[in-house]
Amino acid sequence: MLIPAVAARLDPGWASRVAAARRKLWLALFHPRTVLEAFRGETPGFRPHRPFWGMRGGVSAVFVERLLTLLTALPSVRINPVGRLRHMASGPRGTVLLDFAAPPGGAPQRLSLPAATCALGLGAEELFRAAGVDYAPQRLSVAFGWAEVAEADLRHCPFSLLLAAPGAPALRVSAGPVAEGGRRVMALEFGHVPEGLPHPGAAEARRALEETGLLREGAPMRLLGVTSLPCLQVPSFDNRRAFQAALAAFHARGPEGWAGQLLCGAGRLGFDSMNEQILTGLRIGEP
């Protein structure tokens, strides 16, 4: 009752996807007993106890900014801002040449790295395209919106609220930190929007906030924006086969002497969440 309702909002064909990869549809996975206890208002009996951890400031960007600050302060680390990888080729004396587009406020760059030991943490589409390998996985577009309301007009404000009911005006509502002037930005995930259909707007955002009891009915609300992004890579068998073929082509046609490591989504299909990237970094950093 819970999982199918959420999955269908993100991917209408979710039931035919690779079972082990359905988590990539941002599904909330709960044991039925845990769900029942929550609906009854009981304390979940799941053990061991695993409390959620968050950042002061409320969003993962805060964690990235702090991590970057710590890295910048290390004498053994050099931060070199670059744009997207445009081209990758063999260089002299066992090197690989990486041509990057200009980052904001910067200039295009060419880096030369040892082909045998370098590690590249890039998305699969960006890396394979730079190496001359065709790869275009099927993606699903998901609509997002941001609405600003007064903190005093919120009846209650959980960090994240999942709306599983069919026909709900949004899929998930998340609360940002309280800003200056007692205002709070609420992030809304509306789910998959089929091509050709209009994006949700202010009416859907208000419904999502009022019908859930978060926002006082009729309270002022300012819609900051709505966008739709092809951010979900479909966890299908076709996409898995396409990735495996592209990865094999990269190793066959890539830079001469390449023996480096491919991290994140380039090294493993769908391995692109922050948690997965942290685990990958810890693994390659082991002595």
Residues 6+ apart with CB under 8 A from 183: 148, 149, 150, 151
3-state DSSP helix/strand/coil % of the chain, to nearest 5: 30, 25, 45
Q: What is the pLDDT of residue 85?
A: 96
Q: What is the pLDDT of residues 171-195, one digit of tens each?
A: 899 988 788 889 999 999 998 888 7
Q: Which two tokens stand for residue 201?
A: 């707007």
Q: What is the pLDDT of residues 205-232, one digit of tens each?
A: 999 999 999 999 999 999 999 998 888 8
Model confidence band, residue 50 (pLDDT cutoffs 50, 70, 90): low
- Structure-model confidence comparison of residues 69 and 257, the more confident one: 69
With 90 as the cut, is the pLDDT of residue 240 above it?
yes
End-to-end Cα spacing for the chain: 47
Sheet holding 95-100, edge to edge: 85-90, 95-100, 109-114
**β-pairing, 119-121 with 261-263?**
parallel
Query: CA-to-CA distance for 264 and 123, rounded, in angstroms?
Result: 7
Model confidence band, residue 38 (pLDDT cutoffs 50, 70, 90): confident
Nearest by Cα to 97 from 75, 130, 133? 130
The 10 Å Cβ neighbour count of residue 72 is 10
Q: What is the pLDDT of residue 58?
A: 60
Buried (b) or exposed (e) across 5-31, using 16+ Cβ within 10 A?
bbbbbbbeebeebeeebbebbbbeebe
44 CA to centre of own chain: 28
Length of the chain: 287
Q: Where are the domains of the chain?
A: 60-137+235-284, 140-233
With 90 as the cut, is the pLDDT of residue 16 above it?
no
Average pLDDT of every residue of the chain: 86
With 80 as the cut, is the pLDDT of residue 82 above it?
yes
Q: Which two tokens stand for residue 79?
A: 């931060």
The DSSP 8-state label assigned to residue 105 in this structure reads T
Mean pLDDT of 244-260: 88
Mean pLDDT of 261-287: 80
Instruction: Name the residue type at position 133.
Output: V
Alpha carbon distances (Å) from 187 to 166, 208, 238, 254: 20, 11, 32, 41
What residue has token string 């082991």?
Answer: 286
With 90 as the cut, is the pLDDT of residue 155 above it?
yes
Mean pLDDT of 129-134: 93
Q: What is the pLDDT of residue 149?
A: 96
With 80 as the cut, is the pLDDT of residue 284 above it?
no
CATH 3.30.110 fits 140-233, yes or no: no
Nearest by Cα to 146 from 179, 118, 116? 179
With 90 as the cut, is the pLDDT of residue 66 above it?
no
Q: What is the pLDDT of residue 52?
A: 61
Sheet holding 139-150, edge to edge: 160-162, 172-179, 183-192, 139-150, 221-233
Instruction: Name the residue type at position 16.
Output: S
Q: What is the pLDDT of residues 137-148, one digit of tens each?
A: 999 889 999 999
Q: What is the pLDDT of residue 55?
A: 66
Q: 33 near 45, Cβ under 8 Å?
A: yes
